[in-house]
Structure formats: structure tokens, C-alpha cells
Amino acid sequence: MIENFKLKVFRVVAELLNYRRAAEELHLTQPAVTSQIRSLEEGLGIALFDRIGRETSLTPAGVTLLQYVRQIEAIANDAIAALVPFGGQEGAELSIGASHTIAVYLLPKLLAQLLPQWPRLRVHLIGGSTNEVLQALTSHQIAIGLIEAPAHRPDLKIEAFGEDELVLIVRPDHRWGSKESVRAAELVQEPILLREVGSGMRQFVEEYLERNGILRQQLRTVVDLNSTEGIIAAVEAGLGVGFVPYMSIEKPLALGNVRTIQIENGPIQRQLSIVLLNGPDPRGPGGQLVDLVRAYKGGTLHAPSMVANRQDLISVVGMANTKTRNAKRRLAE
């Protein structure tokens, strides 16, 4: 990496605010990390960290320096990418921020196409809410953001690349298991599994129900869960019906553990967007990842009517895989 080593050590310590974890991240001893920070502070003639007991925090000077160091890191990665046509093999780093569903269910498939072309690439993934991803981007912690909720930020480039449907899932032996659709009013009759209060996914579901005359107080929300995987597991265990992103149930559908039910006046859809800083698109691996994401543009990940068997799922997954293969061919040309 062509980033100045002392600045890299500073950046990692500043982001983790923990010398032991920074040493593990950098594959150094903790005394070596401390020595690098002390040398940098002595060279600049100013303290960058406050150390009180076991707590570490940035001084105002440290906060300012971190902003510039993150920009230096981005420029260094651009330089590495620009040298690739000349045979440059220096390792690059790519920092990505993504909302939970994208980070778990979509991004790994895209990285599987990207990493073989950049064998020395090191990817840093920050997961979080839409607001957390946007904050990480504007503070230069990440180069690319992938979000699942609407965002209105004229200071950023926000580009939709698809939609994901929030689907109602039940166990196949549930009393609704043979139904094609249910009315919103019927949802008050069953224990319903949702994400925790305050999550964007729950907000989408509650807004849909309110548009159809159902107040949140009427729902039988016996269990709130803080993950999509928890909702799927709870539905499989027979604890109720639940709403989850369609892209999260590929395996449960294939195994026959759940099935989807259409909802009246649905579907509930979320826009998926890529977010970049204003200015030119990233180069090198970042630029190629952006191209892969854009290959999904216009696509909608949704539940076909009466998805009840493996063959229906194979058709949907096959279409997505075809898009990925086409994107890979374009990148290789």
C-alpha cells in the first residue's frame, strides 16, 4: 500500500479507538502501534489522542487530521487503480457501507465477481442503517454506499439500481399455507413477527398497514426481532407470520421451509440505491463494483404469484445469475 505507514496506523487507531484491536488489524504488536502514534504526534508537535485510563478518544486536531487522512487513502487507491494498465500489482483497499439486507444477501454475490480480478484487494465493509451509511460516506470512511431506504441528499449522488419487495412469509403447514393472498385486515388475527421498533423495515410494513386501515396497536406483535434471520427462524418454528425482504428467503424457499403469501393492495417495495460522493465515479475495484451494481438497475427482487415450489425459485434466481454473468463479461472485455 502506498499510503504513508504512520498515517495508516493513525487512521486505524482513530477509527477503532482501541490500540489492541488496531494492532490486530495491522498485524503489529501493541507497543509498535503506540510507538508509531507517538512518533507521529512528536513530528507534528501536537496531541492527536486523549488517553484517560482505558478510554481513547480523538482530540480536535486528531478529528481534523482523520478527515484528511481518509482523503489521502482514497487518492492512493485511485493512484493504484491508474497504474494497473502499466502492470502495477500493489494491493488496494476498498471500503463499502451497506444496509443490512444488501450487506448480507446481495453484496457477497457481487464481491464474488469482483475479487478474482483483484486478488490483492482488501475489502472493508461497514454495515448500518441508511443514515449511518450516508454519514460514513460524507466522513470519507467509505467510498461506496448501498442503501435500502429513500434519501434526499443534494450533496451526494444517489442512483436507484433496483427494488426489493418485503414479503409475507408463513410455514407451509400454516392455515394460510394454501391461500394465494390475504387482506390487510386478516393480519390482526395472527401473531406477526417484525423487526425492532425504529427499524426502516418495520416502518415500511407499518406504513403499508396504516394505508390499509390497520393501526400498529392492533397488531399481535408477540416477538420483535433485531434481524431478518431471526424472523425467518421464528416463522419456521411456527411462532407466527412475518415480513422479510424477498432476497433473504432464497434458501428457505428452496428447502420448502416457508412460502410467500400475496397481500392485498401490495406489494411493499423498497428502492435500492447506490450512493457516491459528488464528482467522478471511483476508479479501479471501486469503479468495477459500481458497474456490477448498476447491472442490476431496473431489476426488482419480488415474489412471483404462488411461489410454492423449487422450480419457481430456480427461475427467479437464474435470471439474477444471468445478469451477474453478463456484468462479469462486460468487465472482462
DSSP 52-112: ETTEEEE-HHHHHHHHHHHHHHHHHHHHHHHHGGGT-----EEEEEE-HHIIIIIHHHHHH
Give the pLDDT confidence score for residue 86 in this predicted structure.
64
pLDDT band at 328 (very low <50, low <70, confident <90, very high): very low
In whole angstroms, how large is the CA radius of gyration of the chain? 23
Query: Is the predicted pLDDT of residue 311 greater than 70, yes or no?
Result: no
Domain ranges of the chain: 1-90, 163-269
The total of other beta-carbon atoms located within 10 Å of residue 239's CB is 17
Question: What is the mean predicted confidence (pLDDT) over 310-332?
Answer: 42
Of 61-70, 230-239, 281-290, 324-333, the poorest mean pLDDT is in: 324-333
Condensed to tens digits (0 to 9), the pLDDT of residues 117-129 reads 888 888 989 888 8
Query: Is the predicted pLDDT of residue 17 greater than 50, yes or no?
Result: yes
Q: Under 8 Å CB-to-CB from 307, ≥6 apart: which residues?
A: 253, 259, 260, 313, 316
Give the pLDDT confidence score for residue 314 in this predicted structure.
33
Of 71-80, 128-137, 217-226, the poorest mean pLDDT is in: 71-80
Query: Is the predicted pLDDT of residue 322 greater than 50, yes or no?
Result: no
pLDDT band at 317 (very low <50, low <70, confident <90, very high): very low
Condensed to tens digits (0 to 9), the pLDDT of residues 145-163 reads 999 988 888 889 999 998 8
Q: What type of residue is 193? A: L
CATH architecture, range 163-269: 3-Layer(aba) Sandwich (3.40)
Give the pLDDT confidence score for residue 121 in this predicted structure.
84
Give the pLDDT confidence score for residue 51 in this predicted structure.
87
1-90 under CATH 1.10.10.60, yes or no: no
The percentage of residues in the chain with a pLDDT greater than 70, rounded to a whole number, is 85
Query: Is the predicted pLDDT of residue 68 greater than 80, yes or no?
Result: yes
User: Which of 92-101, 114-123, 239-248 has the largest mean confidence?
Assistant: 239-248
Q: What is the mean pLDDT of the chain?
A: 83
Helix (H, G, I), strand (E, B) or coil at 262: strand
pLDDT band at 332 (very low <50, low <70, confident <90, very high): very low
Give the pLDDT confidence score for residue 233 in this predicted structure.
95
Give the pLDDT confidence score for residue 30 in this predicted structure.
92
Helix (H, G, I), strand (E, B) or coil at 152: coil
Give the pLDDT confidence score for residue 36 in this predicted structure.
92
The percentage of residues in the chain with a pLDDT greater than 90, rounded to a whole number, is 44
Give the pLDDT confidence score for residue 316 in this predicted structure.
35
Give the pLDDT confidence score for residue 2 in this predicted structure.
58
Nearest alpha carbon to residue 161 among 102, 248, 249: 102
